[in-house]
Amino acid sequence: MNKNWFPGIASLLMLGLAAFSFTNKKSNSGKAAVAKIRTIVIDAGHGFRGTIGTRHGSFGTEVSEDQISYEVSKRLVAALQKELPDVKVIESRPTVYFVENRARAEFANSNKGDLFVSIHCNYAPKLREVVKTGTRKETYYVTTGKGKSKKRVKKTRTVPVYRTTYHTNPAHGTETYVFAAHKQDDKEGFILENGDIFNNEEDDGSLNVNINDPIVKQQVALWTKQFFGNSVKLASMVEEDFTGIGRFSRGVKQRQVGIWVLQATAMPSILIELGFLSHRPEEEFLISEAGQQQMAESISRSIKRYKELVEKPTVQNVPNKLP
Ligand SMILES: [Zn+2]
C-alpha cells in the first residue's frame, strides 16, 4: 500500500500539520477541534458501459443495479442540498456511465471529502434444488467368457431419476457495509497517503514534520479507529431509519473480502445496499419513483442526524473551566 512513498510525502507533511494544528488548538485555545462535515461524496455504484454496450452490476427482471443506484443517488444529492445547504455535495459518478473504483476513491480523497456514501443494490442467486422424481430402467452390456466363447450380454438395471429446479431466492432487505476491521492497515495506508484531507484548518506550511514521528503514526491509527467508529455510527443510523420507513433491515455488516472503495477512501465511508433486485417486490419498490424518493430521503435524514451528532461538542471537547 505504501510502496510509492514519494508522492505521499507532501500529503504526509500536510497530515503532520493537521496533527499539530489539532494539538496546538487544544493546548492554546482550550478548545478542541470538532469534526466538521463540509463535503459529502455520493457514489452511485457501477454504471453503464456505453462503449461496450453493457450494463454493470447485478440485474433484476426489469432493471439493472446501475440504473437504480444512479436514480436514488440523484435524489439523495437533491435531498441533501435541500436539508444541508451549507454542505458541499459532490458525485463520484455524476452521469449514467461507469467509473472505475480507483477514480471514485481518488475523486473523494482529492476533493477532501468528510464522508463517503456509496449506493448499490443487492442480488442473491436462485436456489438450486435437486429432487428424486422416480426411477428408470437402464440398459448396459457385460462381456462374459474367454476366447471364442466371449460374448456381450445385454442387461438392465434400475437407476434413480433426478430433476433440478431453481427457486427464487427469498433474501431481501437493506444492508449497510462498513470497511472490514481486519483491513484497518489498508485504511491506515490510504490515510497516510491522503492525510491532508483531514486538515479542516488552513495550514500556513511553516511546520516541518518527521514522517517517522511516532506521534504522526499514532494520530493516523487514531483517525482510522475514529473513522471506523463513525462509519459504524452512520451505518447504524441508516439502517435504523430504513426500518422506520418500513423496510426490512439486515443490519450493518462487514465483508470478509474488503470492499475496496471503502478501504481506499480516507474518511468515514459506508456502502448501502438498497434492496435485492432478485426479490421481485423489492425490485418493484426500487423501480417506483415513490420508493426511490423514500430511500433517498431516509438516507439524507440519517446523514443529517449523523452530522449533528459528530459536530456536537462532546464532554471531552468542552473547555475544562471551573464555574
Ligand atoms: Zn453493487
In-domain check, residue 323: no
Distance 14 CA to ligand 1 centre (A): 34
Q: Quick: pLDDT tens for 153-194.
A: 999 999 999 999 998 899 999 999 998 655 556 666 666 555
Instruction: Work out the end-to-end distance of the chain between its first and last CA atoms, rounded to an integer number of angstroms.
Output: 50
Distance 67 CA to ligand 1 centre (A): 11
pLDDT at residue number 21: 35
With a cut of 50, which residues of the chain have pLDDT below it?
Answer: 1-33, 195-209, 317-323
Distance 58 CA to ligand 1 centre (A): 7
In-domain check, residue 322: no
Cell 483517525, residue?
A: 223
Distance 28 CA to ligand 1 centre (A): 47
What CATH number is associated with residue 229?
Answer: 3.40.630.40
Distance 182 CA to ligand 1 centre (A): 22
DSSP string spanning 45-113?
-SEEETTTTEEES-B-SS-BHHHHHHHHHHHHHHHHHHH-TTSEEEESS-SSB---HHHHHHHHHHTT-
Q: How many domains does the chain have?
A: 2
Distance 64 CA to ligand 1 centre (A): 10
pLDDT at residue number 312: 85
Same domain for 187 and 273? yes
Same domain for 21 and 157? no
Question: The domain containing residue 159 runs over which residues?
Answer: 128-166
- Near ion ligand 1, which residues have CB within 5 Å? 45, 57, 120
In-domain check, residue 1: no
In-domain check, residue 194: yes
Same domain for 229 and 300? yes
Same domain for 27 and 135? no
Distance 46 CA to ligand 1 centre (A): 6
Neighbours of 70 (CB within 10 A): 23
Q: Quick: pLDDT tens for 186-212.
A: 666 666 555 443 333 333 333 344 556
Distance 122 CA to ligand 1 centre (A): 7
